[in-house]
A and B are shown apart, each in its own frame.
Chain A
Amino acid sequence: MNKYLYDLFDICLNAGKEIMDIYNQDFDVEFKVDDSPVDRSR
């Protein structure tokens, strides 16, 4: 098995905690879906 796996597991849990800190707060955001064509010129 890959030698990085255990570290990646730990990293994901830490990142997940950061996300959940915000996610669990009360927030209400107006979210607009952008269906416009992707700009390929960049």
Chain B
Amino acid sequence: MIPPLTAADKRAHIAIAKGLENIDPTIPVLSEEVRQIPYAERKDWEQYWLVDPLDGTKEFIKKNGEFTVNIALIKGSYPELGVIYAPALDTFYFGVNGKGGAYKLNHASKVTITSTEDLVKQSVRLPEVDETKTTHVVASRSHMSKETKDFIHTLDGEVKVISTGSSLKFCLVAEGKADYYPRYAPTMEWDTGAGQAIVEAAGGMVIRYDDKERFYYNREDLLNGWFLVSRK
């Protein structure tokens, strides 16, 4: 018998692969489920879909609902568009870089949506929460490293740590519910592409820890370096 997590991952992957193929069969897909595409083949891609069919495996197993479906469109080396759907919470986030903006749709599966314009119209523009005197830092329950604690100690004033699972951490920053998300632990490209698109479309930034440059994609090594997500 296939373990439930594997079965859910595979079924989601198949649904996404079929859908993306229908949109445009010429755009390649790099997914956690199809990770073995050699760099020699993908290094010349002008654009590609970056997919994590089920982000938040621990959350799925723990049954806390904080897992997501992530899809990003990477153009050049940067995310152009990102969508994150949390099926158990039934919340859909999307962001388009440039002048597109970032949005959140609650009760996504219950709302009748007929077009992209309708989707935007029925969604809430992000950030939805104004800045407060307290600095909110989102940190993973399972990845609170010494460096993360050190980062928190550099912040002035009152600091509150908030937690959630998977790419929902990016969404907290995009929503304005968190000011920072330091991720000083390993992730893969498909864990971050969609989240970065949404945070950037909401006016935030995702910066590499090493050189403070904007986070980029389609590297030879798909393992991400450390990064900091910030609201501004």
Give A contacts to B, CB under 8 Å: 1-23, 25, 27, 29, 31, 33, 38, 40
Could you name 24 residue pairs across A and B whose Cβ atoms are closer than 8 Å?
A: A4-B73, A5-B83, A5-B116, A5-B120, A6-B115, A6-B116, A7-B19, A7-B22, A8-B23, A8-B83, A9-B83, A9-B108, A11-B15, A11-B20, A13-B85, A13-B92, A13-B109, A15-B11, A16-B12, A16-B69, A16-B85, A18-B15, A23-B87, A38-B186
Interface contact A3-B53, CB-CB below 8 Å: no
Chain B residues with Cβ below 8 Å from A17 are: 15, 87, 109
Interface contact A22-B58, CB-CB below 8 Å: no
Interface contact B8-A18, CB-CB below 8 Å: yes
- Distance, CA A31 to CA B63, complexed state (A): 12
- Distance, CA A36 to CA B54, complexed state (A): 22
Query: Interface digits, B50-84 against A, CB 8 Å rule (1 contact, 0 not)?
Result: 00011000101111000101010100000011010
B48 close to A (CB within 8 Å): no
A15 contacts which of B7, B15, B62, B116 (Cβ < 8 Å)? B15
Interface contact B100-A16, CB-CB below 8 Å: no
Chain B residues with Cβ below 8 Å from A16 are: 12, 69, 85, 87, 109
B4 close to A (CB within 8 Å): yes
B129 close to A (CB within 8 Å): no
B144 close to A (CB within 8 Å): no
Give B contacts to A, CB under 8 Å: 3-5, 7-8, 11-16, 19-20, 22-24, 53-54, 58, 60-63, 67, 69, 71, 73, 80-81, 83, 85, 87-88, 92, 94, 96, 100, 108-109, 113, 115-120, 142, 186, 221, 223
Interface contact B11-A18, CB-CB below 8 Å: yes
Closest to A18 in B: B11
Closest to A5 in B: B116
Interface contact B69-A19, CB-CB below 8 Å: yes
Interface contact B8-A23, CB-CB below 8 Å: yes
- Distance, CA A13 to CA B109, complexed state (A): 7
A36 to nearest B CB, angstroms? 11
Other A-B pairs beyond A8-B19, A15-B87, A18-B8, 15, CB < 8 Å = A1-B100, A1-B116, A2-B96, A4-B23, A4-B81, A5-B94, A9-B119, A11-B19, A11-B23, A12-B69, A13-B108, A15-B19, A19-B69, A22-B11, A27-B4
Q: Which 8 pairs across A and B sit closest by C-beta, in order of nearness?
A: A16-B87, A11-B19, A12-B85, A18-B11, A22-B8, A15-B12, A6-B116, A27-B4
Chain A residues with Cβ below 8 Å from B19 are: 7-8, 10-11, 14-15
Chain A residues with Cβ below 8 Å from B5 are: 29
